[in-house]
Amino acid sequence: METGSRWLAALWILFFAVLSPCVGSSSPQQIDPLMYEEQLLWVSGAQGEVNTYRIPLITFTSKGSLLAFTEARKGSASDLGAKFIALRRSTDKGATWSPTSFIVDDGLKPDGLNLGSVLVDDEVGSVILVYAICFHEYQCKPSSTMMVESLDDGLSWSSPKNLSVQLGVKAFAPGPGFGIQKRFNPAKGRLVVCGHGTLAGDGVFCILSDDHGRTWTHGGELKSIPYNQQKKALDFNPDECQPIELTDGTIVINVRNQNNYHCHCRIVVRSLDGGLTLPIDHLYFDTVLVDPAVAAGALQKDGVLYFTNPSNNQHRVNLTLRWSLSNGHSWVKEAMQIWAGPSGYSCMTSLDSGSAEDQKFIYVIYEKGHKDYDETVSFVKIHLYGGR
Ligand SMILES: *[C@@H]1O[C@H](CO)[C@@H](O)[C@H](O)[C@H]1NC(C)=O
Ligand SMILES: *[C@@H]1O[C@H](CO)[C@@H](O)[C@H](O)[C@H]1NC(C)=O
């Protein structure tokens, strides 16, 4: 018996020694996502000075810290009204989080701040947050594009800078999501923030910086039709958006299709010149990405595209992760449901450190609830290879 079990043990060791290199490796064909960890970062419900938390953003910094941001809406759940920008920070990849700090306070404004795009400049190690104030021009004028910056990994933040001084006055709501720093040519190093315009003058607009956020210029535009006129149902009305960069340097912008033009699905537009133009020739409707008109998450990691949204053509429910091995031309049919119930805006990030461990995870932040999607902001760590 004893000899037998020793033999068995030796066999097992041999078995694992031979097999483990394959088990440990992670190729895109083996993606089989698993919810690894979930934590509620913010819970709405009139605590202290905050009524509702909405519009979550997440990013890794250059130093590998995770930063989660959200609007802390003071008086009500409305997009209008006064708000803080709330931040929580994690230095252990989301296992534990700092308490909330309010990094921007708009006071008592009837049409306060709206998030926003977070952007990491890996060349200088800064984190930039671009947001709007007075976006709806409700009891205020004009709308302004604002920026705050952290040079110490998200610990402290500059006072707000008014980018409308450089850009001119125009209603612009960045993101919501992340902006990108171009990692490949054309325009390697450029900062690209895309967002949308006012209700009548809607469309996707990008702003660009080639000097690490010191100065900004207008980039590509994809205007709504009829532009600057009242919209009807089914008009072409591109709205909130998330840009990502492919490894060939193409910028792909995944866009909310506000009035359900052509389909209840996502608009995708590409820029081949580093965000200078968004030509209609490079626009398509992704009918697989069924959508109720919402801000969605997109991410490119190791050549795979990821997409999160409430996957339902009418309602904000059923938050789902999809992935594509063909730059979004097709999506793997095994989608992963993150939350069946009410779910709204989402944003994703991952750490590209080159380590085998960091290759395995993506991180999602999203609006989650039981009755309404704005009840909590939840953070999910997803193991792409089923926990292996
Ligand atoms: C930002 O700058 C623009 C253009 O100079 C100005 O009209 C607007 O009032 C400024 N906004 C704020 C909040 O200072
Ligand atoms: C949830 O999403 C999946 C994937 O898109 C879809 O097959 C399913 O019908 C959706 N369910 C609901 C209730 O929307």
Q: What is the SS3 string spanning the chain?
A: CHHHHHHHHHHHHHHHHHHHHHHHCCCHHHCECEEEEEEEEEECCCECCECEEEEEEEEECCCCCEEEEEEEECCCCCCCECEEEEEEEECCCCCCCCCCEEEEECCCCCECEEEEEEEEECCCCEEEEEEEECCCCCCCCCCEEEEEEECCCCCCCCCCEECHHHHCCCCCEECCEECEECCCCCCCCCEEEEEECCCCCCEEEEEEECCCCCCCEEEEEEECECCCCCCCCCCECEEEEEEEECCCCCEEEEEEECCCCCCCEEEEEEECCCCCCCCHHHEEEEEEEECCCCCCEEEEECCEEEEEEECCCCCCEEEEEEEECCCCCCCCCCCEEEEEEEEEEEEEECCCCCCHHHHCEEEEEEEECCCCCCCEEEEEEEECECCC
In sequence order, which residues have a C-beta less than 8 Å from that of residue 28 and are 6 or more positions away?
302, 303, 304, 323, 325
Residue 26 has pLDDT above 90, yes or no: no
Residue 19 has pLDDT above 90, yes or no: no
Residue 217: inside a domain: no
pLDDT-above-70 percentage for the chain: 93
* Listed residue (253, 315, 313, 318) closest to 288, CA to CA: 313
Protein residue with its CA nearest to atom 14 in ligand 2: 312
Q: How far is the CA of 112 from the centre of ligand 1 (A)?
A: 14
Question: Is the distance from CB of 327 to CB of 246 less than 8 angstroms?
Answer: yes
Burial class of residue 99, CB neighbours in 10 A (0-12, 13-18, 19+) = exposed
367 among known catalytic residues: yes
Q: How far is the CA of 164 from the centre of ligand 1 (A)?
A: 6
253: amino acid identity, one letter: I
Of the given ranges (21-35, 102-116, 197-211), which has the lowest mean pLDDT? 21-35
* Listed residue (175, 176, 146, 145) closest to 158, CA to CA: 146
CATH of the domain at 345: 2.40.128
Nearest listed ligand to the Cα of residue 322:
2
pLDDT class of 5 with cuts at 50, 70, 90: low
- Location of structure tokens 């037998």: 4
Residue 358: inside a domain: yes
Protein residue with its CA nearest to atom 5 in ligand 2: 311
In sequence order, which residues have a C-beta less than 8 Å from that of residue 312 and are 6 or more positions away?
290, 292, 318
Protein residue with its CA nearest to atom 13 in ligand 1: 144
Relative to beta strand 297-301, strand 144-150 is unpaired
Residue 2 has pLDDT above 80, yes or no: no
Residue 355: inside a domain: yes
Ligand 1 atom nearest 168 alpha carbon? 4
Residue 63: inside a domain: no
Mutate to test the pocket of ligand 2, among 318, 321, 337 (most ligand atoms within 8 A of CB): 318
Residue 366: inside a domain: yes
Q: How far is the CA of 27 from the centre of ligand 2 (A)?
A: 26
Question: Is the distance from CB of 83 to CB of 106 less than 8 angstroms?
Answer: yes
Predicted confidence (pLDDT) per residue in 221-277, tens digit: 999 999 999 999 999 999 999 999 999 999 999 999 999 999 999 999 999 999 999
Protein residue with its CA nearest to atom 6 in ligand 2: 311
pLDDT class of 388 with cuts at 50, 70, 90: confident
Q: How far is the CA of 103 from the centre of ligand 1 (A)?
A: 20
Predicted confidence (pLDDT) per residue in 291-318, tens digit: 999 999 999 999 999 999 999 999 999 9
Residue 353: inside a domain: yes
Residue 86 has pLDDT above 70, yes or no: yes
Q: How far is the CA of 155 from the centre of ligand 2 (A)?
A: 40
149 among known catalytic residues: no
For the chain, the domain total comes to 1
pLDDT-above-90 percentage for the chain: 89
Ligand 1 atom nearest 134 alpha carbon? 13
Ligand 2 site residues (CB inside 6 A) read 311-312, 318, 320, 335
Given this model, what pLDDT does residue 18 score? Answer: 47
Query: What is d(CA 227, CA 231) in angstroms, rounded to the nearest whole number?
Result: 9
Catalytic residue among 345, 363, 373, 385: 345
Given this model, what pLDDT does residue 9 score? Answer: 54
Residue 363: inside a domain: yes
Catalytic residue among 79, 105, 153, 273: 79
Nearest listed ligand to the Cα of residue 132:
1
pLDDT class of 17 with cuts at 50, 70, 90: very low
Record the tokens describing residue 294, joined without a space. Answer: 């919402």
Q: How far is the CA of 194 from the centre of ligand 1 (A)?
A: 20
Given this model, what pLDDT does residue 12 score? Answer: 53
131 among known catalytic residues: no
Given this model, what pLDDT does residue 23 score? Answer: 47
Ligand 1 site residues (CB inside 6 A) read 133, 142, 144, 162, 164-165, 169
pLDDT class of 25 with cuts at 50, 70, 90: low
Question: Is the distance from CB of 192 to CB of 243 less than 8 angstroms?
Answer: yes
Q: How far is the CA of 356 from the centre of ligand 1 (A)?
A: 47
Predicted confidence (pLDDT) per residue in 162-198, tens digit: 999 999 999 999 999 999 999 999 999 999 999 999 8
Nearest listed ligand to the Cα of residue 264:
2
Comparing 39 with 19, the larger pLDDT belongs to 39
What separation in angstroms does the CA of 198 have from each of 80, 188, 229, 240, 375?
14, 30, 11, 11, 27
Which whole number is the average pLDDT over 42-55?
A: 92
Average pLDDT of the chain, as a whole number: 94
Predicted confidence (pLDDT) per residue in 205-233, tens digit: 999 999 999 999 999 999 999 999 999 99
Q: 317: domain range?
A: 291-388
Dihedral of alpha carbons 37, 41, 45, 47, sign = positive
Residue 123: inside a domain: no
